[in-house]
């Protein structure tokens, strides 16, 4: 996959990687975690920051959802990397939808090197970049999402409080459960290298989906009547479930469409203004089934499941 050492791109992963010795899979922690906040070194200002994303990435997707739902497209411009990673990592075309609209970079690692000439670590999306200070601000999607919901809110065209203070503890606890039990657990299932590691991860995935199905029995959104941040963190995993994780990551006990409440909830979310424009099922399928020596050596992409998200949201 590649990474950077002292600001230079290295095509090989080197020792360490993401796989632990027990056959389980561990996510590498994000290393750049500055905060946009009024009165700080990174103040919220329309047009000052640039967002780098890729359509396939579920972590970037949560940030794109906040940007679309809150109406931050003008205040926070974005560039979308080409869907398939290469031996140069995430790359951009010279023109068209997958170009770097801010710096004209040919690969995302050039932007990382520009913002931190000594950067060492993975080159991931989403990336929040300060174009005034010419610095990397954050490579952590959970932090960027929270900043959009708070510090960037005065710049929003459709402001709404997605992290109400009175519910903050419950929101943080639910976010943590959804992250460990679903957002990250599907990757632990898909990247497991032993049967035991896979069995544990896939049980966690379906226990969490069962918990969420029960939770939605009497509520419209995860926290009740109002949409909140945990809904934005759940949706990217649901959107990829049947088209990718079900087969590619062997999360095969049930499909999303087999959960009546969750499926209705997912379609309701998909119908919110701005959301459908962030969803690209074909890109998910081709991305998760791209050729991989371990997971899909022949690179054959399965046919799309016959599922319509366009039903009127109940």
Ligand X SMILES: N[C@@H](CCC(=O)N[C@@H](CS)C(=O)NCC(=O)O)C(=O)O
Q: What are the residue numbers of the active site?
A: 57, 187
Burial environment of residue 214 by CB neighbours within 10 A (0 to 12, 13 to 18, 19 or more): exposed
Mark the segment that binds ligand X (CB under 6 A) among 138-146, 149-157, 195-203, 205-213.
138-146
Using left for φ > 0, alpha for ψ between -120 and 50, and beta otherwise, residue 130 falls in beta
Mark the segment that binds ligand X (CB under 6 A) among 94-102, 128-136, 137-145, 240-248.
137-145
Applying CB under 6 A, does 57 fall inside the site for ligand X? yes
* HSE toward the beta carbon, residue 297, CA cutoff 13 A: 2
State which residue, 139 or 150, has the beta carbon closest to ligand X.
139
Mark the segment that binds ligand X (CB under 6 A) among 134-142, 163-171, 238-246, 270-278.
134-142
Applying CB under 6 A, does 111 fall inside the site for ligand X? no
Applying CB under 6 A, does 141 fall inside the site for ligand X? yes
Applying CB under 6 A, does 230 fall inside the site for ligand X? no
Query: Do 124 and 42 form a contact (C-beta atoms < 8 A)?
Result: no
**Distance of alpha carbon 118 from alpha carbon 120, whole angstroms:** 6
Shortest distance, position 124 Cβ to ligand X, whole Å = 3
What secondary structure letter does DSSP report for 22?
T
Applying CB under 6 A, does 287 fall inside the site for ligand X? no
Applying CB under 6 A, does 146 fall inside the site for ligand X? no
Applying CB under 6 A, does 91 fall inside the site for ligand X? no
Q: Angle formed by the axes of helices 229-240 and 141-149, to 10°? A: 130
Shortest distance, position 56 Cβ to ligand X, whole Å = 7
Instruction: Supply 166's token pair.
Output: 């009175």
User: What are the percentages of helix, strand and coil residues in the chain, rounded to 5?
Assistant: 40, 10, 50
Q: Which of 30, 79, 175, 204: binder of ligand X (CB under 6 A)? A: 30
Query: Do 108 and 125 form a contact (C-beta atoms < 8 A)?
Result: yes
State which residue, 64 or 123, has the beta carbon closest to ligand X.
123
Beta-strand runs (E) in 18-69: 49-53
Applying CB under 6 A, does 229 fall inside the site for ligand X? no
State which residue, 57 or 189, has the beta carbon closest to ligand X.
57
State which residue, 90 or 259, has the beta carbon closest to ligand X.
90
Shortest distance, position 185 Cβ to ligand X, whole Å = 14
Applying CB under 6 A, does 59 fall inside the site for ligand X? yes
- Give the dihedral sign, CA 90/96/102/106: positive
State which residue, 123 or 156, has the beta carbon closest to ligand X.
123
State which residue, 124 or 150, has the beta carbon closest to ligand X.
124
Report the residue count for the chain. Answer: 314
The secondary element (H helix, E strand) that includes residue 78 is strand 78-80
Residues that bind ligand X in the complex, under the rule CB under 6 A: 1, 30, 57, 59, 122-126, 139-141
């Amino acid at each position: 996959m590649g990474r950077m050492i002292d600001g230079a791109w290295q095509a090989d992963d080197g020792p360490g990687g993401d796989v632990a010795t027990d056959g389980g899979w561990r996510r590498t922690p994000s290393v750049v975690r500055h905060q946009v906040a009024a009165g700080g070194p990174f103040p919220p200002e329309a047009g000052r920051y640039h967002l780098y994303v890729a359509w396939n990435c579920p972590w970037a997707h949560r940030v794109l959802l906040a940007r679309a739902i809150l109406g931050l497209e003008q205040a926070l411009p974005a560039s979308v990397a080409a869907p398939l990673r290469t031996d140069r990592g995430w790359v951009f075309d010279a023109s068209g939808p997958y170009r770097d609209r801010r710096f004209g970079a040919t690969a995302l690692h050039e932007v990382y090197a520009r913002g931190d000439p000594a950067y060492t670590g993975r080159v991931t999306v989403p990336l929040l970049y300060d174009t005034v200070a010419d610095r990397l601000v954050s490579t952590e999607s959970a932090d960027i999402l929270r900043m959009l919901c708070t510090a960037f809110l005065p710049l929003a065209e459709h402001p709404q409080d997605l992290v109400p203070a009175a519910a903050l503890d419950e929101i943080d606890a639910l976010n943590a459960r959804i992250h460990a039990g679903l957002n990250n657990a599907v990757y632990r299932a898909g990247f497991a290298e032993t049967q035991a590691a896979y069995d544990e991860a896939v049980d966690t995935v379906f226990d969490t989906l069962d918990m969420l199905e029960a939770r939605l029995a009497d509520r419209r959104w995860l926290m009740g009547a109002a949409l909140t941040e945990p809904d934005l963190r759940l949706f990217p995993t649901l959107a990829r479930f049947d088209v990718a994780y079900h087969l590619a990551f062997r999360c095969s006990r049930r499909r999303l469409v087999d959960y009546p409440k969750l499926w209705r909830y997912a379609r309701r979310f998909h119908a919110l203004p701005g959301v459908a424009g962030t969803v690209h099922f074909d890109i998910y399928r081709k991305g998760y089934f791209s050729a991989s020596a371990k997971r899909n050596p022949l690179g054959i992409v399965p046919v799309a499941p016959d599922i319509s998200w366009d039903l009127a949201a109940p």
